[in-house]
Structure 1
């Protein structure tokens, strides 16, 4: 009981730190919110039943502390140099502030810590790290973002590394990690369209990630070849996993295609075709390792062992996953219908 109470306490302070950063009107209070968020997540990562969590927590703390100290140094330096900390069309200042925030959010090429930290976490903490922990840094990045050579480099490196990095992985945690890095590139481009666009992209990405984690978590799946542990009698769960992965990859009938569709249309009318062509090609490459997760579960010749794990929560998990997947399948149709009618 006390363990659960501590988790509730730290999760509350984690969310409080995020809201402090989002609602702050000064960089110092934004940094303070990031620190509260960081120090609340470290105890949530600890788990006595998993020997890898200590290493993951230490790595995460060191990287986040480095990024936070760099951000604080930049803020104090700019405040001393300027009487008022104003970024008067200074792309160099934007680059300096964005770099530690990009490290915090795990964008390439500042992503080296992300896969190893994810590998040592439980599925609940993986979801927090891939979604909630990125909200505050991304919100601060959106304040300073400018379309320049630096942003183009970050976007293309995130897209390319996210696609190639997960190509030869067998761990589902690492596959979702490189998927998150790939989607970071798309979210950075969505920021140029406006605040509403990247928030929409982030919400859809979080929904699809939650659906996938809710499917693999009760079956205790960690690797691609373990997906056959999903019972052969439970074809619905396999279908939900398959559909959610397709939606995460951005296949047109699903909701995951909607934000990418809007970004592609926006970039085609504003910039050269080269950047968007590279983004689309490497996003298609990510579909390979999305589909590979479902391949061993759907293959006709797969066998089911007699020691298969039977989840006691299969009915509730199935209902929740089915509702989330229904939003994913029907969201694009509902959105386009609503726009055409009204």
Structure 2
């Protein structure tokens, strides 16, 4: 009971730090919110029964503390320089401040810590790291983002590494990690369209990630080949899992295709043909290995092992709760089309 109370306390302070950063009107208060958020997530990551969580928590703390120190140093230096020199290039300032924030959110090429940290976390903490922990830095980046060569480089590199990095992975955690890096490139592009667009993209991404983790968590699956060993009574689980993965990859007519479709239209209208062509090509690579995994799970005929994992009542309820989420993922884009027609 005490352990659960501490979890709720740290989760509350984690969300409080996020809201402080979002609602702040100065860089110092935004930095304070980021620190409160960081120091609340470290105890949630740690688990005395698993040595890998301790290693992941230490790596995460070092990287985030480094990024926070760089951000604070840049903000203080900026205020001192502006008090002496009135003429300063705003594009250089935005690049300098965006760099530690991109490191915090795990965008390429500042992503080297992300896969190893994800591999040592529980599924609940994986969801927090991929979604809630990215809200604060992404919101700060959206305040100053410009369509310059630096941001174009970050977008293309994030999409490229997210696609190529997950190609030969068998760990579901690492596949979701590289998928998150790929989606970071799309989210940064959505920021160029306006605040509402990237929030819509992030909401749909978080929704699909939650759906996948709610399906995986009851079975304690960590690798793709473990999905083939689940007993044959749970064929519906395979369908829910892989349809959600395909939606996360952006396959039409699933819901995950909707925000990508809107971004493609915007980039084409603004004559950014080279950038959007590269983004679409690398997203097709991401979709290819999702399809490859899905085909092997749906088509392969395998015998049910005698030691197969069976669900208890509590886990069965969690799986039933994931059914409406998956239904929205599958039928969301089709429903939107019918709404527009009528």
TM tier relative to shorter chain: over 0.9
Task: Provide the rounded CA distance (Å) in 2 between the counterparts of 1:272 and 1:204.
Answer: 24
Q: CA deviation at 1:238?
A: 1.1
Tell me the number of residue pairs that the alignment of Structure 1 and Structure 2 aligns. 341
Contact 2:218 2:319 survives alignment (8 Å): no
More displaced stretch, 109-118 vs 233-242: 233-242
Q: CA deviation at 1:84?
A: 11
SS in 2 for 1:147: coil
Task: Provide the rounded CA distance (Å) in 2 between the counterparts of 1:146 and 1:106.
Answer: 19
Q: Which runs of 5+ in 2 are unaligned?
A: none
Deviations 1:79-99 (CA, angstroms, capped at 9, x unpaired): 111249999761100100000
Task: Provide the rounded CA distance (Å) in 1 between the counterparts of 2:293 and 2:38.
Answer: 32
Residue 101, structure 1, aligned to residue 101, structure 2: yes
Deviations 1:43-80 (CA, angstroms, capped at 9, x unpaired): 00011221101110000000000000000001111111
Deviations 1:160-213 (CA, angstroms, capped at 9, x unpaired): 000000011111100000000000000000000000000000000001011111
Residue 140, structure 1, aligned to residue 157, structure 2: no
Q: CA deviation at 1:268?
A: 0.2
Task: Provide the rounded CA distance (Å) in 1 between the counterparts of 2:191 and 2:42.
Answer: 29
Deviations 1:6-33 (CA, angstroms, capped at 9, x unpaired): 0000000000000000000100000000
Q: CA deviation at 1:130?
A: 0.2
Contact 1:224 1:296 survives alignment (8 Å): no
Contact 2:231 2:305 survives alignment (8 Å): no
Q: CA deviation at 1:301?
A: 2.5
More displaced stretch, 252-261 vs 317-326: 317-326
- Within a 5 Å distance, the mapping from 1:248-267 to structure 2 comes to 248-267=248-267
Q: Which runs of 5+ in 1 are unaligned?
A: none
Task: Provide the rounded CA distance (Å) in 2 between the counterparts of 1:162 and 1:138.
Answer: 18
- Within a 5 Å distance, the mapping from 1:101-250 to structure 2 comes to 101-250=101-250
Deviations 1:301-337 (CA, angstroms, capped at 9, x unpaired): 2222111111213431232111101111121122222
Q: CA deviation at 1:224?
A: 1.2
More displaced stretch, 318-327 vs 61-70: 318-327
Q: Find the counterpart in structure 2 of residue 25 from structure 1.
A: 25
Query: TM-score under structure 1 normalisation?
Result: 0.96
Q: Find the counterpart in structure 1 of residue 286 from structure 2.
A: 286
Query: TM-score under structure 2 normalisation?
Result: 0.96
SS in 1 for 2:232: coil
Q: Find the counterpart in structure 1 of residue 320 from structure 2.
A: 319
Task: Provide the rounded CA distance (Å) in 2 between the counterparts of 1:157 and 1:243.
Answer: 27
